[in-house]
Structure 1
């Protein structure tokens, strides 16, 4: 009997670190009867490419990576899933791990089909999730989306419960955890995952490299600049998908990231206190999550849930609306990056500082 540990995220909860360690130690894990598939092509530290085939749902990250969508993407995804299944048949194992954080958004309509497809490689499934509190999760997602040249997005008011209920109602066993170091075994997400879900006699796993490379956050001021660049160049390819690959974006992010680190000062992204309170107030499922699922966040004031009089988050669109900005640091960062960014986009591209003055805080 094969037990599938399905790591579903959610996003921004150390998933890259976990996936990197599991991939690095795949051979060692297999010796202990734990299979973390790594041979499927194209290869990842996660198994995201299986998502379109298993859920019927495209994923913006995958679309951006491959420049495919619809039937083309699903065909590639089916081939990938076939190679995962082939790898599971090649090895003797009693535990199988599949991990990709964007499985958190598989909706109720797709969950039953999803479970049936997963049973092609296992006999029993436990869906494992680690959750951040709403304010910290929103901040992490905002930081990531800005670095991906995407707009700021609010998650739905029952974000936690809707997903957990969808899994449970479609036959999944679930195991949900708080993403806070104080709750982790040895204060570490990887150790915590292995201790809770893998064999107790598991050998020590090798740690190496920068497991969070590419997932590193940027300061509030750096987010402002990247949002300005995204707005300045959002009409350069009017027919392009928002997920279309554009090498200029990654170059711009690197310019801003390096300048951000070189400038120093307060690099830690943050939200205004009133925005944090508003995020908690609109998260209507926090009480359910605490009382029914046993998940309680240490820094959440539960008396705020459902209260009124907070900023209307849906009416806000700019980084400056959500996060405190140091004007002197922002000016210095602009001075360090403006010419380099202008060169990336070429002479014919609008200078983003001019667009900032023309359009102000207009949403892209």
Structure 2
């Protein structure tokens, strides 16, 4: 059995790919693939992250993991589960797919090495597939996710500052640092890097592109039913609403996931998607300048035939961001959505 491990990055349609794979076992089987059950009720193989991380994430508490000793036991249990899934694979199935954006969003270098120790003995070959988007888009998208989930209540300008620190949030935007961990653990030849841009994707579609990377050819997607989960972004006023209420309903409380926040999730996802959030042209230019050296390395290492820069400037962006603004009427309307 060979393994294709899709590692995100976050906000590159990973939920869409995961749920599509989980919902189409027959199509995958007909094409020689299986998307396994890795001891999780969700399509995201987040248990790979729990087993490899060098700390106990609060969300792992729901899996009974509260200490590193329990994680060590779980790691062995997960390895046994993978072996069982390999043994149960139908004839003709030669590729197992795994996918979790947590492997790039939350896993550091020691964790990547731990993951390699877990996976490499179980498979004849391991391939890593990763999608990378330009950092200004990634920062804006991740800010929306932080507001949606209630991770913190920082305004967007502060979030941008955090993205430019030596220990940035999000932590995965320096692609040289990020991929260096995976090159060290799996080798550069095992890593396929794709740019999350319609102009770069096969047929301009991430699902078609992903299956093309797995199969090594342009896929015939007839019979494959895409997931309806597009994980759409929220509007700029909705993000400001969520930022303002975050101190009252944060994601985490008492060192565990806040059940009050979880109960709001469905209602939050009903908030409007327009007007779409936009950063300013100056913010975009500053972010991309900060990551220019890492992007030059990325181009030279994985796209040596491409002229630079890897990501073009964005002159179409406005002079002022539309984030951080909400009218009293919008606030009242969104509050009503939360109460329904």
- Per the normalisation by structure 1, the TM-score is 0.74
Query: Would you say the 8 A contact 2:2–2:95 is kept in 1?
Result: yes
Query: Would you say the 8 A contact 1:63–1:244 is kept in 2?
Result: no
In angstroms, what is the RMSD of aligned CA positions?
A: 3.1
Q: 1:10 corresponds to which residue?
A: 9
User: Given the alignment, which residue of 72, 77, 81 partners 1:83?
Assistant: 81
User: Could you tell me how far apart the structure 1 residues matched to 2:139 and 2:233 are?
Assistant: 13
Structure 1 residues 174 and 287 mapped into 2: Cα distance closer, same or farther (>3 Å)?
Answer: same
| Partner SS for 2:257 | coil
User: Could you tell me how far apart the structure 2 residues matched to 1:45 and 1:134 are?
Assistant: 26
Query: Would you say the 8 A contact 1:129–1:177 is kept in 2?
Result: yes
Structure 1 residues 97 and 330 mapped into 2: Cα distance closer, same or farther (>3 Å)?
Answer: same
User: Could you tell me how far apart the structure 1 residues matched to 2:56 and 2:49 are?
Assistant: 7
User: Could you tell me how far apart the structure 2 residues matched to 1:260 and 1:276 are?
Assistant: 24
For structure 1, list consecutive stretches of 5 or more residues without a partner in the other structure.
303-321, 345-364
Q: Deviations over 1:260-316 (max 9, x none)?
A: 35xxxx4312212222122112214122122233286765339xxxxxxxxxxxxxx
User: Could you tell me how far apart the structure 1 residues matched to 2:321 and 2:65 are?
Assistant: 35
User: Could you tell me how far apart the structure 1 residues matched to 2:111 and 2:71 are?
Assistant: 17
Q: Aligned residues, how many? A: 310
Q: 2:197 corresponds to which residue?
A: 180
Q: How does 1:206-355 map to 2 (within 5 A)?
A: 206-212=224-230, 215-233=231-249, 240-241=254-255, 243-246=256-259, 248-260=260-272, 266-283=274-291, 284-294=293-303, 299-301=311-313, 323-325=321-323, 327=325, 330-338=327-335, 341=338
| Partner SS for 1:52 | helix
Q: 1:169 corresponds to which residue?
A: 184
Structure 1 residues 24 and 42 mapped into 2: Cα distance closer, same or farther (>3 Å)?
Answer: same
For structure 2, list consecutive stretches of 5 or more residues without a partner in the other structure.
153-158, 164-169, 315-319
| Partner SS for 2:7 | strand
Deviation at 1:340, TM superposition (A): 5.9
| Partner SS for 2:272 | helix
User: Could you tell me how far apart the structure 1 residues matched to 2:52 and 2:109 are?
Assistant: 14
Q: 1:42 corresponds to which residue?
A: 40
Structure 1 residues 340 and 166 mapped into 2: Cα distance closer, same or farther (>3 Å)?
Answer: closer
| Partner SS for 1:260 | coil
- Per the normalisation by structure 2, the TM-score is 0.79
User: Could you tell me how far apart the structure 1 residues matched to 2:217 and 2:252 are?
Assistant: 55
Structure 1 residues 236 and 132 mapped into 2: Cα distance closer, same or farther (>3 Å)?
Answer: closer
Q: Deviations over 1:128-152 (max 9, x none)?
A: 1010100000111110011111124
Structure 1 residues 259 and 12 mapped into 2: Cα distance closer, same or farther (>3 Å)?
Answer: closer
